[in-house]
């Protein structure tokens, strides 16, 4: 029997009060199997995702936006690399949200996000996103309180507009513990192939862990909606994180009930010389 993943366990219901200390980042109980079974299941899901993404691109009807948020070392790059391994790059685009340029700042905090939303047939992944405006800018006091508090409403209205225009939105918060982050930062320093990822700024941000947890709790409570839900993914175990994210994406794509476009009878009658 194929092990099941109970992905609804990760869903943040609209308006639900969130305390991240009650969400165990090491929890794998939503999967009826062990790590080996999960890795085998991930291979099957990855193959299914490849097929569904090709159908999404060929049908040119639906739009899917995936938003990844996490603390440093939370696994955003890992999810992109593993979950989408082998997927045809046609119709898939990854957008990295780094420090905004002056032009982006001049246009407002949602402008650069709107410029990168998916077109029909496209799957777009935001590696970080417009949510930085209520995370980093809040934690570092870069804008007044009344500004970032107003932004929750603006974000919800923005995402509702995307939904009304035909974009399906999935938002994943990759939840790790402070101890796991420490372990991963140490691993970067001990691996020559990963030490380039380490920055002194990682330590600055780590000192603000509790402030970030509070900011994330507010984000999850105030911006998880029926049109754009948040999923809290336990991410201390990478194998479980990848399986959970992949399964939710595949289930969403399956819900589109897509079909490959059929060619006309005239085209079927064409003879290739």
pLDDT 10s digits, 129-172:
999 999 999 999 988 999 999 999 999 999 999 999 999 999 99
- Position 168 scores a pLDDT of 98
- Contact by Cβ (8 Å): 65, 117: yes
pLDDT digits over 16-38, tens only? Answer: 899 999 999 999 999 988 899 98
- Domain presence at residue 37: yes
**Is the per-residue pLDDT at 1 higher than 60?**
no
CB 181, CB 71: distance < 8 Å:
yes
Answer yes or no: are the C-beta atoms of 221 and 173 closer than 8 Å.
no
In a domain, 3, yes or no: no
Written as six digits, the tokens of 171 are 């938002």
Residue 182 has pLDDT above 80, yes or no: yes
Q: For residue 160, give every residue at least 6 positions away whose Cβ sits within 8 Å of its Cβ, in sequence order, or none.
A: 225, 227, 228
Residue 174: pLDDT above 90?
yes
Helix axes 76-83, 35-59, angle to 10 degrees: 70
11 is a domain residue: no
The count of structural domains within the chain is 1
pLDDT in tens, 189-229: 988 888 888 888 889 999 999 999 999 999 999 999 999 99
pLDDT at 8: 86
**pLDDT at residue number 11:** 96
Dihedral (CA of 75, 72, 26, 14) sign: negative
Specify the pLDDT at position 33.
85
Q: Would 94 be classed as within a structural domain?
A: yes
More confident residue, 128 or 201: 128
8 assigned to some structural domain: no
Of 175, 172, 171, 173, give the one whose Cα is nearest residue 237. 175
pTM exceeds 0.75: yes
Q: What CATH code is carried by the domain that includes residue 42? A: 3.40.50.300
Residue 150 lies in a domain: yes
What's the mean per-residue pLDDT of the chain? 92
pLDDT in the model for residue 184: 95
Q: Note the pLDDT of residue 2.
A: 67
pLDDT of 201: 86
Residues spanned by the domain of 30: 17-256
Q: Residue 260 in contact with residue 55, Cβ under 8 Å?
A: yes
Q: Does some domain include residue 85? A: yes
3-state SS string for 76-138: HHHHHHHHCCCCCCCCEEEEECCCCCHHHHHHCCCHHHHCCCCCCCCEEEEECCHHHHHCHHH
Q: Are 123 and 195 in contact (CB under 8 A)?
A: no
Residue 12 lies in a domain: no
Residue 75 has pLDDT above 70, yes or no: yes
Higher pLDDT residue, 252 or 90?
252
pLDDT at 44 > cutoff 60? yes
């Amino acid at each position: 029997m194929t092990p099941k993943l109970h992905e609804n366990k990760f869903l943040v219901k609209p308006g639900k009060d969130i305390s991240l200390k009650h969400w165990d980042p090491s929890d794998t109980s939503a999967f009826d199997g062990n790590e080996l079974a999960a890795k085998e299941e991930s291979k099957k899901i990855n193959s299914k995702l490849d097929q569904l993404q090709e159908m999404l691109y060929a049908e040119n009807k639906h739009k899917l936006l995936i938003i990844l948020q996490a603390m440093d070392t939370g696994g955003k790059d890992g999810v992109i690399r593993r979950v989408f391994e082998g997927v045809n790059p046609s119709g898939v685009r990854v957008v990295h949200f780094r420090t905004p340029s002056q032009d982006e700042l001049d246009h407002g905090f949602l402008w650069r996000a709107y410029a990168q939303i998916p077109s029909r047939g496209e799957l777009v992944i935001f590696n970080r996103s417009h949510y930085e405006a209520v995370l980093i800018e809040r934690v570092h006091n870069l804008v007044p309180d009344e500004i970032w508090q107003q932004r929750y409403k603006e974000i919800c209205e923005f995402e509702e507009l995307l939904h009304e225009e035909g974009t399906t939105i999935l938002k994943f918060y990759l939840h790790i513990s402070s101890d796991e982050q420490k372990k991963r930062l140490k691993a970067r320093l001990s691996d020559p192939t990963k030490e380039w990822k380490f920055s002194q700024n990682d330590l600055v941000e780590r000192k603000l862990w509790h402030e970030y947890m509070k900011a994330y709790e507010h984000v999850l409570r105030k911006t998880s909606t029926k049109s754009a839900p948040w999923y809290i993914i336990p991410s201390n175990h990478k194998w479980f994180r990848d399986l959970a994210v992949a399964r939710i994406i595949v289930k969403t794509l399956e819900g589109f009930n897509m079909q490959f476009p059929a060619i006309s009878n005239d085209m079927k009658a064409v003879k290739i010389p």
